[in-house]
Structure 1
Amino acid sequence: MRVAIVHDWLYVVGGAERVLEQLLRIYPGADVYALFDFLPEADRARLGYAHARTSFLQRMPFARTRHRNYLPLMPLAIEQFDLSAYDLIISSSYAVAKGVLTGPDQLHISYVHSPMRYAWDMQHTYLRESGCEAGAKSLVARFILHHMRVWDFRTAAGPNAIVANSAFVARRIKKVYGRTAEVIHPPITLSSQRFDGPRGNHFLVASRLVPYKNVEAVVRAFARLPDLQLVVAGSGPDAAHLRAIAGPNVSFAGFVSDEGLRHLMATARAFIFAAEEDFGIIVLEASAEGTPVLALGRGGVRETVQVRGPQRTGMFFDTPDPEAVAACVRGFIEQEDRFTREACRAQAEMFSADLFRIRFSRFVEEQLALHRAACETRPRILPRLEAVG
């Protein structure tokens, strides 16, 4: 059985690329396709492939740094991949990968990290943060996004089966595509060594510093909590603004290595997450370090943080504003001793890479069996009209 894995694009290693890594462990001989691939060789080796077969976008000017400018060409580019030699095609899609062209005798399973958020329910947020709310630039952007929605909806009929990375995304898929998706949560990397030392005095935020991550709400919340310490890890365009509004009890670590981030998580009193995400792998990474999570109670975190029962792993706040965050932190402090490292780690282990491979492999085998049975079924041929006469 020849297998192709189609990924949107490859230029950083994030959550979607961790899924790709596990898919390549399941199918180590698979060929990898992507619109473009600018990963260094070390990252490619880490993910499990030597080179990807890329589209014409790989050779376009400034594709490495301004690839989003080529969004209108991406549907055309993904449709140029000739996958006719493969029996099984797996697309790992958060933009256009699910739109590859496949035949009736090929099985196409699409792991959808999310429908294109900037073209659907987050269009207005995207336009606002891009400075495209009004004027000629806005008109062009809205026209492009409209056509992306039309293409995205049409190509949703292509895969034989769709897998969602969370029940939250499955609901979005049902709403915008009208299709039912199987939920298989993405894998997280569990720590090889457990930290059982004392906790520090700090609360932790780790995020790219952009508006929709709502880090500003957390920073302003700690202005109301002057006796508590907050550490902000990460970089981004909002960094200077956040430093300007932060009080003396807020420190900025900037970009930190994976090892450094794990240590900050393990020694934090709690990890604070104020964004609405499709899944939120970093939340489970904090749990894997035995650290409780205080999160905005929307999106995928509702499936990964236990807020009831004796094995609680965190608490939710309802809105991403300073008052709600501060109230949640105060509520956590009142019952801090009820949260254990063991409960947090046990929750994270339910999302391990081993379990992901088992669940995904089982789903593919089920779909292969159904597909083969459908291909072997002979259609009933109606008699010719003259024979009936």
Structure 2
Amino acid sequence: MVNKTPDSLVKFCDTVTAEKILTSQALRWSAPHLFIDPFELNHTSELCFTPQELLAATVKHAVNLIFCPDRPGGSTPILQAIRRWRSEDRFASPDEADEVLRGLLKPLVNARDEYNQRLMQNWRSYCMRLRLCCFSSRLNNPMAWQQWGNHHRGVALRFNVGEHTDFEEPHKIQYQDTRPEISLLADQVEAVIKNFQEEHGQVFTDKFLTKAKSLAHQREWRCFKVISEKALARTDDDYSDIVFNGADLDAICFGLHTPKSARESLIEQALAINPNVRVLQTEMQPGSYQMAFRRKFIKSQMPELDPALEEDTGEDFDDLPDLDQDSISGDAALDQMLEEVSLPLNEHRA
């Protein structure tokens, strides 16, 4: 099933982090080992089986193919031999077949082990060069506000997604009970029997797209960047602060308890990045655990209206105060900057 890419993605954070993001106009993309989830794979992760366990599992599978009711298909030498042994009734018992197959399959498993050593070298290199930036799919996510938005005292930055943005190909996290492994034992056995090797790149990407089903409330999406070996050698950091296009910043949204003193400077910084950025304030819905988002229009964002059109629209933009940065400060400055206009929730893609 193909996951439809959302029009926007949301980065929840506290006000200090939001100020760093807006001041630098950059998002932090981190290597996987910097994540706080111990179930996430990273460059220190190992294969979940030993060469001895792979040999034992491969022999067991081959013995089952000899004595199972159905005739196995396939054209590899080992499968051709298994079909011949079946037709000749070569082995009287699984124990007899086990002893013979162990000697025949050991060189194949040893070759697979050499492949797995290269696999792990590629895996470690990929993990060290991989940079991930994590988002949520919507503003209306109380758990995200609680977990990442500093208990509703923080900020949500919403970014445009898709073609011609810095976030062209986000990947949706799948929430399930099965934890990913670098490579599964069953897949390795099949690779030995059928004599094939996987392409690493896409397989590696998929390892970072699964989380526990209990975390489904996060509604997480991830964006991937892989830096070069030369870029990795030039830094000791396990992260990259990557500048984003100002036009990609669609909205800045304040939590239910974001301090008013923090909002003024954050709005100014957001406007410096994108003069058309939307400013939203989270509000509780009466009798509901859902949230509403009230848009606050900035004076500089108001259209220049013809006087004749003002009468038709019923909105008097002259009532909005002018912003004089030299003569205002504190909460009064914030009140002067903003004019509240209530908009329906669905207009904000919340």
Normalising by the smaller structure, the TM-score range is under 0.3
TM-score, length basis structure 2: 0.22
**Greater CA radius of gyration, 1 or 2?**
2
TM-score, length basis structure 1: 0.20
More strand by share: 2
RCO higher in structure (CA 8 A, sep ≥6): 2
